[in-house]
A and B are shown apart, each in its own frame.
Chain A
Amino acid sequence: MTDSKIILSVKDLVVKFRLRGRVLTAIREASLDLYEGESLAIVGESGSGKSVFTKTFMGLLDGNGWVDFGEILYGGENLAKYKTEDDWIKIRGKNIAMVFQDPMTSLNPLKTIGKQVQETVELHQCLKKEEAKKAVIEILNDVGIPEPERRYNQYPHEFSGGMRQRVVIAIAVACKPKILICDEPTTALDVTIQAQILGLLKRLKKKYKLTTIYITHDLGVVANVADRIAVMYAGDIVEIGNCEEVFYNAQHPYTWALLSSLPQLGVKGKPLHSIKGTPPNLFHKIKGDAFAPRNPRALKIDFVEKPPYFTVSPTHKAKTWLLDPRAPKVEPPESIEILRKQWGLSKDA
């Protein structure tokens, strides 16, 4: 991945929201480099800022939110500086597109799905009516909708959930975007359909040479689709690395806690692991490592100063003082040790 070109670069992004007269910091100086053609998964619990983080790339923050600090570099431009609709129109759909979580509500119930896909095609590819219709039918065919000519004139209520998600994906890829953000694309679908949709996304990624970002809290999805994983906690990316590195050689205590909570790693007869406490209140200023209060292995410095990124390997870095050479040796939980050993084995083989 390192030899690939960086397509999108986020530097020290701070996003704030005004809520009932108080200011909440949703993203706290998060940085991320996205490489062309890769597939990145952003994982984290609800409220960790995964969705908000990616929404800033498209200017889709709610009215009470704003980018307070930082840069989002894309195609030589700083998207964080974009203010007006005219600016964003150039990015949305054409360069960066998004697939939303719930296909049941993502489509306008009163318009035929053909029209809804066509809107995008006409907007970005400047095609005339007949040609646009042809293009739409081709895209519908591409996303695996049978009989696209007939389906073109049907309304969303005549589609099942999985089929609707295909339509939403069709809308997203209709303009051949460079980056596709999938915001929990399979959460609202049942398990058999999930696999189909993930397969479809992988196929489209190859066909259209997309760079994809998956937002999810389903680590099964991550293992299936991602090249790299970014772990998000309280509005910051605490660990990022290749799929194997984060799964089998996690360094940040939060990643440990997250992995230990996997039901697959539970021991029969023992209760499943769960992370104690709640995420920090984002209305307050967070001092030190945001995860420290919930971390049984927290060091003193974790409560005083925010850790910088420590490099584990050229592709793997984590924000934890445990990686500082001066830090005492702290043993990860048992389940993480098991994972590490597994990786060691697979490495030897």
Chain B
Amino acid sequence: MLKYSLKRLAQSLVTLFIIITVVFLLMRLMPEEGYFGQAYEKLDEAQREAILTGMGLRDPMHIQLKNFYKSLLVGDLGKSIIYRPKVPIAEILKTKIPYSLYFGLTAVVISLIAGISLGIIMARSKSQIWDKLGTGYIVFINAVPAAVYYLFLQLYVTDIFKLPILFKPDNTASWILPAISMSLGSTAAYAMWMRRYMVDELNKDYVKLARAKGLRNKTIMVKHIFRNAFVPMAQYLPSTLLYTISGSIYIESLYSIPGMGGLLVDVIQRQDNTVVQALVLIYSSIGIIGLFLGDVLMAMFDPRINLQKKGGAR
């Protein structure tokens, strides 16, 4: 277990290092206008060169890389140039991440509880009324574009329950609907997978043996089936939790929440190179850390994973 985790950790660190390097090198291919902002038109060629040299962008590539790693190590992501000129990127994120995190985590918790319960109910009443209703819900969520039911909720549900249409940080009631809207899609996904894994387990021979032993159906459900069905879901849990900081473009713009959603698109459009670089770094690191934690979590649940001599089974 420990050996497996350490091995996976080492692999993740190597991957992370490669990604940081690749991202940095790719960003060097971006147009250089991105380093000047509004002032670009007013400067002449010599002045531009002077500014770029001042930022260290005319140094040889390996020096630039070294400096980049150095500042990353002390947690310095650089400063925004166009999005909010001269403001450290860490500063910008600090105001935005909490909103996305709050809504994201609330939505994950809601959808985990609702989705897994729904999945269990559906598996237990396979091909009966609850299963069919649940399937209807899953089909609806997957078939109808999210924007449609998001808008529907915003327009009608706010009206029925007298909730505010837009988000205001000091109004608690305005926090409810965005979180619920965000959880709808993942609820359907969790329900679908949970049902599927449960049904898979239900038909396995060890369940028959457990019944023949004299265990009650309830005990079998809780002690055998649920645990085994949850293992494959556990793998994606850390990624899901970590990715909540990236926010949701739709929900945040619908309710005008000042979160992370849309920030990446925004800075790419405005060619704010340093912010793009920082965001891409953060999101890809999250991806790698999430996968690593997921694998470790799986190994904790499933003893068979320890034995795999070759680390990355997936």
User: Interface on A for B, CB 8 Å cutoff?
Assistant: 58, 60, 85, 89, 91-94, 97-98, 100, 102, 105-111, 119-120, 123-124, 155, 157, 168, 171-172, 175
Contact A107 B215 (CB under 8 A): no
Interface stretch, picked from B63-71, B190-198, B223-231, is B223-231
Residues 211-255 of B at the A interface (beta carbon under 8 Å)? 211-217, 223-224, 227-228, 231
Give the dominant DSSP class at B's interface. helix
Extra 11 A-B pairs, beta carbons < 8 Å, given A119-B213, A168-B209: A93-B212, A98-B209, A100-B208, A105-B205, A105-B206, A106-B206, A109-B206, A109-B302, A120-B213, A172-B212, A175-B214
B210 at the interface (CB under 8 A from A): yes
Report the minimum CB–CB distance from B72 to chain A (whole Å): 40
- With contacts A108-B224, A110-B231, A155-B303 taken as known, whether A124 is within 8 angstroms of B212 at the C-beta atoms is no
Q: Which residues of B contact A93 (CB under 8 A)?
A: 212-214
Residues 278-314 of B at the A interface (beta carbon under 8 Å)? 301-304, 307
Contact B210 A108 (CB under 8 A): yes
Report the minimum CB–CB distance from A38 to chain B (whole Å): 21
Q: Which residues of A contact B307 (CB under 8 A)?
A: 157
Of residues B204, B208, B307, which shows the largest number of chain A Cβ atoms within 10 Å of its Cβ? Answer: B208
Contact A119 B209 (CB under 8 A): no
Of residues B206, B213, B228, which shows the largest number of chain A Cβ atoms within 10 Å of its Cβ? Answer: B213
- With contacts A108-B224, A157-B303 taken as known, whether A100 is within 8 angstroms of B205 at the C-beta atoms is yes
Contact A60 B208 (CB under 8 A): yes
Candidates B204, B212, B215, B303; contact of A97 at CB < 8 Å: B212
Q: With A and B bound together, what is the CA distance between A106 and B208 in angstroms?
A: 8
- With contacts A110-B228, A157-B307 taken as known, whether A171 is within 8 angstroms of B206 at the C-beta atoms is no
Closest residue of chain A to B217, judged by CB? A85
Contact A60 B213 (CB under 8 A): no
Q: List 13 A-B contacts (CB under 8 A).
A: A85-B216, A89-B216, A92-B211, A93-B212, A93-B213, A100-B205, A100-B209, A102-B205, A106-B206, A107-B206, A110-B227, A110-B302, A123-B213
- With contacts A89-B214, A89-B216, A124-B214 taken as known, whether A106 is within 8 angstroms of B227 at the C-beta atoms is no
Report the minimum CB–CB distance from B225 to chain A (whole Å): 9
Report the minimum CB–CB distance from B125 to chain A (whole Å): 11
Q: With A and B bound together, what is the CA distance between A168 and B206 in angstroms?
A: 10
- With contacts A106-B205, A108-B228 taken as known, whether A171 is within 8 angstroms of B303 at the C-beta atoms is no
Q: With A and B bound together, what is the CA distance between A105 and B303 in angstroms?
A: 16
Q: Which residues of A contact B206 (CB under 8 A)?
A: 105-109
Report the minimum CB–CB distance from A342 to chain B (whole Å): 40
Closest residue of chain A to B302, judged by CB? A110
Closest residue of chain A to B227, judged by CB? A110
Q: With A and B bound together, what is the CA distance between A111 and B204 in angstroms?
A: 15
Closest residue of chain A to B126, judged by CB? A63
Q: Which residues of B contact A124 (CB under 8 A)?
A: 214
Q: Which residues of B contact A111 (CB under 8 A)?
A: 224
Q: With A and B bound together, what is the CA distance between A98 and B208 in angstroms?
A: 10
Contact B212 A98 (CB under 8 A): yes
